[in-house]
Amino acid sequence: MKKILSIILALAAALPLSAQLYHPGEVLEYRVSYRAKMFPNTEAGAVEVKTTETERDGREYYLVEAVGRTLPTYRWFYNLKDTYKIWIDPATLRTEYFESDLHESDYTFQSYYDYDWERGVVKTRWRRRQNPYSEKEMPVTPECMDAISLFFNMRTAEGGDFKEGEPRLMRMVLQDTVRNIRYRFLGREVKKIRNIGKFNTLKFDCQMGTTEGYSFTDGTVFTIWISDDDNKIPLYIESPVRIGSINAYISGYKNLKYPLSSLIK
């Protein structure tokens, strides 16, 4: 569950900041499942990503909240509730603040990022349980973002922007490091989504690097199908694990900015 939530929030293409799509009122809902030979399809969790308008320190912001939870049936075994938030300047479409609050059984973790785009740095603070905060200031370029901001950075991409099979890199801020993600556009494909229907999609193969920089040998691998329309919604994600695979699929959506023209009726 923790792995697939991180994958959902890290999906993006390396586009200019102006390409981000923030639409107050939009809600995206996902179901997370585990699949193996002995477990054909076991749904274990849910993720919701919603966008609203808010104020902070007397200024207007877009607020994006992403919450992942294990389903009630499994909370006795592994009770997870992870919350991520970002505050975006509506004028520049740049993220100014990020925070996460993770509760996974007995494990808790908090992190906060403050972006200073004029200086080109991000100040990060994080801690486990009630330990003292660790802090770090790191240089960032406009393409370096937290996981939530990366999630929205691909929302106006066109299939024609990508060359099939061509590898690209994006970068994700993560506490005291910047993690590299390598991805390839695999082409267009019709994808069936459970309980909703068939979609025209853009298919990507992605691999998250390790903390050692550009090493991808033991990083997370996943495949994603994105709606081939102006919304560019992540529809289905699949990531192999040691036995079987973890999958996430969209289960609901509200107040999209554009018509969902990728849905085949």
Residues 43 and 265: their CA atoms lie apart, in Å, by 26
What are the distances in angstroms from CA 250 to CA 46, 48, 123, 181, 246?
A: 10, 10, 33, 23, 14
| Closest residue by Cα to residue 84 from 195, 174, 14, 162 | 174
Q: Which pLDDT score is estimated for 211?
A: 54
Q: Which pLDDT score is estimated for 53?
A: 96
Sequence spans of domains, the chain: 2-264
Beta strand 59-70 with 167-174 is unpaired
Write down the residue that tokens 């505050």 correspond to. Answer: 87
What stretches in the chain show pLDDT beneath 50? 1, 10-19, 212-219
Q: Which pLDDT score is estimated for 175?
A: 81
Max intra-chain CA distance, the chain: 54
Counts for the chain of helices (H) and strands (E), in that order: 2, 16
Q: Are 71 and 46 in contact (CB under 8 A)?
A: yes
Q: Which pLDDT score is estimated for 182?
A: 79
Beta strand residue intervals within 117-260, DSSP E: 121-128, 134-139, 144-145, 167-174, 177-193, 197-208, 221-227, 234-240, 245-254
Beta strand 197-208 with 221-227 is antiparallel
For 117-142, the pLDDT digits (tens) are 999 999 999 999 889 999 999 998 88
Secondary element (H or E) of residue 102: strand 95-104
Q: Are 20 and 152 in contact (CB under 8 A)?
A: yes
Distance of CA 190 to the CA centre of its chain: 22
Q: Which pLDDT score is estimated for 190?
A: 97
Residues 218 and 240: their CA atoms lie apart, in Å, by 12
